[in-house]
Structure 1
Amino acid sequence: MTLDPILLIGGAGIVGRQAARFLREMYPELPLLIGGRDLARAQQAAAGIGNAEGVAVDLTAQDLDLGERPVSAIAIFFTDTTTAALQFAQRRGVPYLSVSPAMTEVGPEIAAHMHRPNASAVVLGTEWLVGATTIPALEFAKTFHRIDTLRIGALLDEQDEGGPASYDDLERQTQALPAVQVRRNGAWVWRSGDALETSFRAADGTMLQATGLSPHDVFGLATVTGASNVEFNLAIGVSSSRRRGEPMSTEIIIELEGEDQAAQPLRSRHAVIHPEGQMPLTGLGIALLLERLIGLDGKPAVRAGLYFPYQLLDPAVYFERFAWTGGKISALKP
């Protein structure tokens, strides 16, 4: 099957290079376009990937300055305040994936989809590490008959390099937004001020100071599980591996409380860990989504619609590739 190239806008950045690396390892012949404002930087990144071309992308131009150049899908690695890339994807009828806008910022993307719902598949990909939280959480939830509380604690090591776009996203979502949403006793409420401050236990049991965040995971997991209490908290500091004298890692702590199939109280606590930090998991999720969106896996391409990542990713495939990249999941004492 001959495919048009996938366009990675911002593909010369850290996340973009990770996604391109996984796509290249999975599909050596897949053509890629590495797009960015700096043509020389995009070309340099493309040269290091192989079977890729660096192109200049102008988000103020209706055709992104690409003319009639064909593409099979678009992924963008920073917040596009113009929605130019999404509108370009809709005009071409190709899938579109964004991984930066917070839930409070997706109004323009949702409006664009609502006005052209049959144009293309649109993925709101701002889940924490693009599937690394939601897919394991939904797998752990299968042992429960009822889930009352679902808590996510993400630990980002202070040595974990995320690149300028990732830093801007994190700063905007943790500092510029004065409040975040959580589900409490079945109702959606806002946390702000002192209510944002909290703590959770890392994989090694260390208590960490954390602050509330509301990536898309919160809304998706609450909807799927029906849990009355759902929250997401982020800590930035020293990871459990580094406290042991090992290199830094990234951790996601997933805690569930409710009842088992026999209506008995049940609690579970798991750690999702990657020894190379946040970027490999983010890149993996993006690569797997692009694979699924355009049918590289041999299945039909995804139909036009609005999706979260976990709605498209096969858990079995995800866990296989997760382990392939070096990721680990550990059951912890509740």
Structure 2
Amino acid sequence: MQTKTVILAGGAGVVGCQVAAILRRRQPDLRLVLAGRRLDAVQAAAAPLEAEAIRLNIDAPDLSGASRGAIIVGLANDLNDRLLTAALDAGSPYLDVTRWTSAQKQALTTVSAQGRPAAPVVFASSWMASTIGLIARDAARELASVERIDIGVLFGLADRAGPNSVAYMDRISTPFLTMEDGVWRERRGFRDGQVRDFGEGGPHRLYRFDTPDQANLPALTGARTVEARIAFDGQIETRLVHVLVASGVWKALSGPRFEKLRRSMLYNPGEGAAHRVRIELEGRDAQGETIRQTVQVVDPEGQTHLTALGAVVQIERLLGRLGPALEPGVHLGEAMPDPALATALLKSEGVCISG
């Protein structure tokens, strides 16, 4: 069998190290390459895994030395599409798990401008590397038609996290679109609070936020309404952010000048905390009867672990080892033909999915 190569751009980060460790355990025959700006950091991360290490600047990537057909995985923000463009130019399979909705739209424009890709290009940037969308799609298979999908996220402030993990918070006052009753409507982040029960995590008031799930799932499931809300497990922090956004203070603090202040409020990672997501689905069965179901998702190892597992799901898809091999072209992470394969992998790696 020909050795496959996977290059993890951002491989020394909090998520990248976990992706590398899981891949090495699950796919020991891979040629695994960790890449990053600081060669000493990627060498330290690669050594215990017997992986290779290379210096790679995402803003000026050089893939000339990469093996033909190597899978390029973006685990750090590629804000100017430089890594994406380099992968397209090289004809390499590409995976990105870092993009918020507008950045995903920007990337789709970049791909379209270059014509049909010579290899698969996968955008799996929905919540936790598209794991939640895949779980929702798996649950929705019991419905003949889907009317509504409601995603509630409980974010552990003490969880392990890299600095990019709260980048979306810089955009919470920026308007975004969601599908409601089949119509796209403009929303604002951290408004329209609703209480959701997370089982052992307790009840929390959640507020709207922008995530690609709300753009992708209506098309993939036919749902007429898809909404996502979030809260921090610290209710004081959740309330504070809501007040700052609703009062306009958060918008006034936007921009590079106040970036350190904004991040200090929400980026104080700890040793780890469980990541909890609640998915509600409503639809009709084959007889036309209304069906409602709730799925509780808990990763005891936290949100970075769940993100890493989502990346592994997509890498194994690109390797042709989790379902049929992907054809050249653009693919969404949630669009996996058989989402049950993804949920089975997640469960085997310790993620609790109940309901």
Give the ranges of 4+ consecutive aligned residues of structure 1 lying more than 4 Å apart after TM superposition: none
Partner Cα distance (2:48, 2:307) in 1: 20
Q: 2:301 aligned to 253, 276, 282, which one?
A: 276
Tell me: CA distance 1:186–1:44, structure 2 relative to 1, closer, same or farther (3 Å): same
Partner Cα distance (1:248, 1:304) in 2: 38
Tell me: CA distance 1:281–1:149, structure 2 relative to 1, closer, same or farther (3 Å): same
Deviation larger for 310-319 or 96-105: 310-319
Structure 1 match to 2:352: 328
Matched, 1:319 2:319: no
Matched, 1:258 2:254: no
Matched, 1:181 2:177: yes
Structure 2 match to 1:75: 73
* Amino acid of the structure 2 residue aligned with 1:57: L
* Amino acid of the structure 1 residue aligned with 2:177: Q
- Contact 2:15–2:75 (CA under 8 A) maintained in structure 1: yes
| TM-score in terms of structure 1 length | 0.87
Deviations 1:55-78 (A, max 9, x none): 1112343xx245433251111112
Matched, 1:235 2:244: no
Tell me: CA distance 1:316–1:144, structure 2 relative to 1, closer, same or farther (3 Å): closer
* Amino acid of the structure 1 residue aligned with 2:302: G
Identity %: 29
Q: What does 1:293-304 align with in structure 2 at a 5 Å threshold?
A: 293-295=318-320, 297=321, 301-304=325-328
| 1:193 Cα deviation from its structure 2 partner | 6.3
Deviations 1:270-324 (A, max 9, x none): 10111111122211111121122133x2876422111111223643322222122
Structure 1 match to 2:247: none
| 1:267 Cα deviation from its structure 2 partner | 1.1
SS in 2 for 1:118: coil
Question: How well do the aligned residues superpose, as a CA RMSD in angstroms?
Answer: 2.2
Partner Cα distance (2:17, 2:134) in 1: 23
Structure 2 match to 1:243: none
Partner Cα distance (1:16, 1:280) in 2: 10
Deviations 1:30-72 (A, max 9, x none): 111111111111111111222x1111112343xx245433251
Q: 1:207 aligned to 180, 203, 222, which one?
A: 203
**Structure 2, gaps ≥5 residues long:** 236-271
Partner Cα distance (1:272, 1:193) in 2: 23
Partner Cα distance (1:254, 1:231) in 2: 10
- Contact 2:100–2:126 (CA under 8 A) maintained in structure 1: no
SS in 2 for 1:90: helix
- Contact 1:180–1:212 (CA under 8 A) maintained in structure 2: no
Tell me: CA distance 1:214–1:324, structure 2 relative to 1, closer, same or farther (3 Å): same
Deviation larger for 66-75 or 264-273: 66-75
Structure 2 match to 1:120: 119
Partner Cα distance (1:128, 1:313) in 2: 19
| 1:207 Cα deviation from its structure 2 partner | 2.5
Deviations 1:223-274 (A, max 9, x none): 12222221011111169xxxxxxx8311111111232222122211110111
**Structure 1, gaps ≥5 residues long:** 240-246
Matched, 1:157 2:156: yes
Structure 2 match to 1:222: 218
- Contact 2:176–2:188 (CA under 8 A) maintained in structure 1: yes
Partner Cα distance (1:323, 1:193) in 2: 31
Q: 1:104 aligned to 87, 102, 105, which one?
A: 102
Matched, 1:92 2:90: yes
Partner Cα distance (2:90, 2:296) in 1: 41
| TM-score in terms of structure 2 length | 0.82
Tell me: CA distance 1:186–1:35, structure 2 relative to 1, closer, same or farther (3 Å): same
- Contact 1:5–1:30 (CA under 8 A) maintained in structure 2: yes
Structure 1 match to 2:263: none
Partner Cα distance (2:59, 2:160) in 1: 30
Structure 1 match to 2:274: 249
- Contact 1:222–1:230 (CA under 8 A) maintained in structure 2: yes
Partner Cα distance (1:60, 1:162) in 2: 22
Structure 1 match to 2:314: 289
SS in 2 for 1:195: coil
Tell me: CA distance 1:196–1:9, structure 2 relative to 1, closer, same or farther (3 Å): farther
